[in-house]
Structure 1
Amino acid sequence: MPQKEDKNISHLLQSNDVPTPVEAGRVYDEIDDLETEANALRLQLDALEGRLQQRRSIVSSVRRMPAEVLGEIFQLAVSSNGFGWRKHCLENFMLVCKAWRNVALITHALWNNISIGGPRNSYKKILAWLSRSGSLSKRLEVAEGLGYGGFCGCEDSEPCRYTDPIIIRVLKEARALQDLRLHVGRHICLTKFFESLQSAPENPGLQPWKHIKSIGIDFDPCSYNSWPTPLDSFQFFFTQLAFVTSFRLYLPPRENTSFENSDPWNATIGIPPRFLSQLLELAIQCDWRGSHILGMLEHCTSLETLTVDLYCESMSLDDLNDPVMRRLRTRRLSLPNLQTLILRRTQTMELLDYLETPLLANMDVGFYNVNALDTQFSPAIFTNFLDSSRCIELKCLSLRECHVNAEDLSSIIGRLPYLRRLTLEKFQVLPKERFWASLIPDPMTKTGPLPLLETLEILSVPYIYSPGDDGLYQFMISRRQWSSTRVQLRIAHVRPMERKRLFFTQVNRLKRNGVFLHITEG
């Protein structure tokens, strides 16, 4: 039949003639027949492709992948999410097949942390989960199910979930516990927790909570707190922690906190000096006015890493009667072992006026709003800090979210000959045309700034930004005069960029001069 129809329309296939109504009808009929035949063949092809894929999967390398490698993949897949999501992903992995379930069960790192705190805690299930982690150190987070944001939402008339006997029992009996995280709605919840821990019977052979090495306490920023003085429960708890070297304390914001018999300047945080003296790492979030942070740092003589989040506020260090400020009036606070200093959401750089860090290698300063008029980057404070600390061997510097004069930034960079990594994020240098150009020395000079630079990051720039706009391209080409170090240059745009803004000739020339350019979004 199709061959006969082909003969009837063969003259149409070989010409541009207009078909008659009868011929057009025959063509439509033949189109329907061909589509039906093609659909049937497609179904057969899909079935064959499915069978082919099944057989390829049988001999694929995935089935022969060692259990250790598959376990590492599982860890990467769940590592960056909250516990609830990690648990959901892990359960899905174990439902794929028996082999995947067995791999998950023998991968200890998948089971060494757990988040508890909801009303349906099961002691046996908690221990069963942690027991699969073998001899690895355990992390316990008391947060899951504790109301909005993971914080306890109890009222005065309700039993606080932090007094749950199961939570206390886990802390008393879970072996190899080294990391504890507490998400607290109000200070009274923490007090009840400490009191429950103190009153519970002790097992001299266990007491794992007294051997933890890292602890974090986060107060809910949205809950209203009443901060008492003195804090006897704090004293009891922290004096028991002789092995802690890492401490994170996120205090409630000042606007949601009332201070009993006191004000923010005179409030007592209550961390014992002996506990602070053993810390190697401290992260604190505090917007309370006064010298609270400096008062704690006076005792942190062993500190190696310090993170301070000022919650978009200044420290207000202007109380002349403050005993801490009187002691620091003529000398700086020395942190002789500090290697990493991170400032977040700071309004000024006043904290640097009181610190001395001779071994500092990594510094990250982040203001809270690049457009805020009261955000102050002070070149004088920065340079005085560098000079007083004598930390010329600073290797990594990150500056985020503020304005700075081009000449001031050039002067600072000129003081850091050992800098290997420089990150500028949401950072406005004015005038921008002069900054990078000012770093280019005379053509006959064999020395110049940033001779050891290995990584330069320009982050969160407008989508129309190009390295040729502010002299960066010219600087990267010129630095070959005084340095043979290859540089990784990363430019991250806040929105999809116009790639035509960066010509391929520029990219190729940068590569020839030892600059590896990465342009991303984010």
Structure 2
Amino acid sequence: MSRTTPFNFITVKYPHLLSTNDPPSAAEEVKIREEMATIQQDADLPEIQNQLATYRSVVSPVRRLPSEIIGNFLDLAARGHDGHIEKARVASFCLVSKAWRDSAIATLSLWRDVCIDRDKPLCKKVVEWLGRSGALTKTLRVELRDRGQQPCCGKHSRNYEAADNNPDEDEDNEAELEEEDDEDEDSDWSDDDSEDEDDEETPRECIIAKTRLAKLLVDGPQFNTLVLTVSSTWCLRELLRSIRTRARAKGVSWPGIPSLALRMVPNVGHWAETQDPSASLFKYLPSGSLSSLGLDLVLTDELMMSLLNLYRFNIPSSTLNSLTSLKIKTEWDGPQIARLLPHCERLEHLYLEYACPSKFGAYRWTAAHDFHTEANLPARIHLPKLRTLQVDGIPEMTVGTILHFIRAPALVNLGFQINMRPQWITVPPAEEESHLGRLPELFLQSLGLLPQEAEITSISNLHSLTMGDGKWYDYRLYLSRSMLASIAPHFNSLRHLILYEVKCMDGEDPFQALCHHMEQYQTHLLPNLEDMKLTFSDDSFPLESLFLFAKSRHDHWARRPVGHNQPRDSLHTVALRISENWVNLANTYNTSPTIGHIRNLGVSVERY
């Protein structure tokens, strides 16, 4: 072997290994390792160290990872902050190496989600992309953007009016749609490469119609989820009518979309539904086909806040009764959400986000003694199958009433976040601290999860409780000394406790109070708790008391009667998010005399 140029051995003989992540063949690896052994004698030289590093990277086992493992990595890396697959990332992965391309193509989950981001017919490209996902459920997202901005529909503006008083019976329009369907009956997906007509020639065409979405939904693969961003509900109404007309013209039965997420363009979106539920756009969906509905309706700026109670959802009860999941984000300050819930008897998952600024005193109507009479609601709304409830953006001044009419006996997963800033406090200064620290307790009590005067006993089946702002880490979770000790005795089935952005009231220590409660009453609080996760809003949290609580749990477990079945205390994980800038918390974590003891008891205590 010539050693005149040992440093460019791989460059000259195996350039393809440096320009790709492909592994060397067995024969190539033997030759490379022989060269490595030859130059090892000069390993102290910096140039040789660099060359050896190149050799080691070429023969690294990483290059021989199984395709399935690479595919798992790619699936994680391809997702954006919202959890959706980003097609640009997938395309980039396919260019790295043949091994990565093969892994990407073999990873079906990378191809089950596609986004139409241009107002052009992309049916053929969408079908080809989704065709690689096999039998997996498929998601279609329509998020049209123009130079980074979401454009409004030129046809369905805020001032749009239907041609007659009852556009849903407009046979002339349906006849026109049928004629359009006849024209492209045999066109397959050939319209993908055609140029759109100039906007000046078609000023009245709906922006969604330009994508030929109805054609894709009827003639293309079956979609499990449709995520649609529009500036007017007229766009969605026209789409659903076009689908119905196309299906009729072809003599096929459209199965519908099991999961629909509708997002209005913020600040310019227009909810154009009438006050007649029988004329709702949702009536165009096949009966019973929709099981999951998401509505993101942040429509106006603060100047229009006073008009929001005039809006109506007006979703037919037949549609609501088929839902198992409902997600609503809105700033509508009125009983619109509450009026939907009595019809949601099959609901299992409910996600609510109130976008009304708390300082405006939103949802005060819920605090009125006769709120149900004024809003035409039952005094109690029973959701017998509800298992998961997530509520974000709860206003401070209505925390105890905003959902006090709900009862969910099957609830096992609860999360909530309260919008609270000190300048928004609505109680006298002398009561501020006790009020702030009790806000989470007031919300839990309003749901009937804690005893009230009218309900002497309360039995909770909660398995998971999440409190605080885990999305943006913007609002603090204020805890008084007694808050956790007040709620813990009522959550014997709780397994997972998550507290985001915790802030203890001045000089108060909620976990120390838990320890004192267990010692005073000789009881094992939260006996089935398996893991805790905490993030902190500042550097003042009494972290050592948290570790002592974990130790105290084990001590009380050890004093239980001989013969109990549980081999050890149920707590096995404590996860903490501690910023590098928080010196006190970091010092406590690194020097605590208790943390080593509880780790020896089998409790994992880790920073993340």
Change (3 A) 1:230 1:485: closer
Deviation at 1:165, TM superposition (A): 5.0
Amino acid at match of 2:465: L
Is 1:361–2:412 an aligned residue pair?
A: yes
Distance 2:214 2:518 in 1: 68
Corresponding residue to 2:546 among 439, 456, 472: 472
Change (3 A) 1:101 1:201: same
8 Å Cα contact 1:225/1:258 also seen in 2: no
Is 1:234–2:234 an aligned residue pair?
A: no
* 2:445 aligned counterpart, secondary structure: helix
* 1:343 aligned counterpart, secondary structure: strand
Deviation at 1:139, TM superposition (A): 0.4
Distance 1:365 1:83 in 2: 21
Deviation at 1:342, TM superposition (A): 0.7
Amino acid at match of 1:221: P
Change (3 A) 1:137 1:301: same
Question: Aligned residue for 2:114?
Answer: 114
Corresponding residue to 1:485 among 570, 583, 586: 570
Change (3 A) 1:112 1:170: same
Distance 2:282 2:492 in 1: 48
* 2:68 aligned counterpart, secondary structure: helix
* 1:177 aligned counterpart, secondary structure: coil
* 1:91 aligned counterpart, secondary structure: helix
Change (3 A) 1:359 1:109: same
Is 1:373–2:425 an aligned residue pair?
A: yes
Superposed counterparts of 1:221-300, under 5 Å: 221-223=266-268, 225=270, 227-230=272-275, 234-237=280-283, 239-240=285-286, 242-253=288-299, 255=301, 264-300=308-344
Amino acid at match of 1:167: L
Deviation at 1:176, TM superposition (A): 2.5
Amino acid at match of 1:463: D
70-79 or 386-395, larger mean C-alpha shift: 386-395
350-359 or 90-99, larger mean C-alpha shift: 90-99
* 2:212 aligned counterpart, secondary structure: helix
Which blocks of at least 5 consecutive residues in structure 1 are unaligned? Answer: 1-40
Distance 2:529 2:604 in 1: 13
8 Å Cα contact 1:216/1:247 also seen in 2: yes
8 Å Cα contact 2:389/2:413 also seen in 1: yes
The Cα offsets for residues 72-96 of structure 1, whole Å up to 9 and x where unpaired, read as 2211111345699822221122112
Corresponding residue to 1:421 among 493, 496, 499: 496
The Cα offsets for residues 120-176 of structure 1, whole Å up to 9 and x where unpaired, read as 442211111111111211100011435645464647456332112522211112223
Question: Aligned residue for 1:351?
Answer: 402
Question: Aligned residue for 1:497?
Answer: 582
266-275 or 438-447, larger mean C-alpha shift: 438-447
Deviation at 1:508, TM superposition (A): 1.3
8 Å Cα contact 1:227/1:257 also seen in 2: no
352-361 or 167-176, larger mean C-alpha shift: 167-176
Amino acid at match of 1:230: Q
Deviation at 1:339, TM superposition (A): 1.0
* 2:77 aligned counterpart, secondary structure: helix
Question: Aligned residue for 1:72?
Answer: 72
Deviation at 1:322, TM superposition (A): 6.3
Percent identity (aligned)? 22
Distance 1:237 1:130 in 2: 28
Change (3 A) 1:66 1:409: closer
Distance 1:86 1:380 in 2: 41
8 Å Cα contact 2:85/2:110 also seen in 1: no
* 1:377 aligned counterpart, secondary structure: helix
Distance 2:419 2:443 in 1: 18
Change (3 A) 1:60 1:224: closer
Deviation at 1:337, TM superposition (A): 0.9
Question: Aligned residue for 1:309?
Answer: 353
Question: Aligned residue for 2:530?
Answer: 454
Deviation at 1:284, TM superposition (A): 0.7
Is 1:396–2:441 an aligned residue pair?
A: no
Deviation at 1:218, TM superposition (A): 1.0
Rg: which structure is higher?
1
Question: Aligned residue for 1:15?
Answer: none
Question: Aligned residue for 1:46?
Answer: 47
8 Å Cα contact 2:139/2:224 also seen in 1: yes
Amino acid at match of 1:343: V
Normalised to the residue count of structure 2, the TM-score between the two structures is: 0.69
Which blocks of at least 5 consecutive residues in structure 2 are unaligned? Answer: 1-41, 158-202, 427-435, 469-475, 558-568
Distance 2:463 2:114 in 1: 36
Is 1:178–2:211 an aligned residue pair?
A: no
Amino acid at match of 1:356: R
- The alignment covers a number of residue pairs equal to 472
Distance 1:105 1:323 in 2: 58
Deviation at 1:429, TM superposition (A): 3.8
Normalised to the residue count of structure 1, the TM-score between the two structures is: 0.79
183-192 or 108-117, larger mean C-alpha shift: 183-192
Change (3 A) 1:496 1:106: same
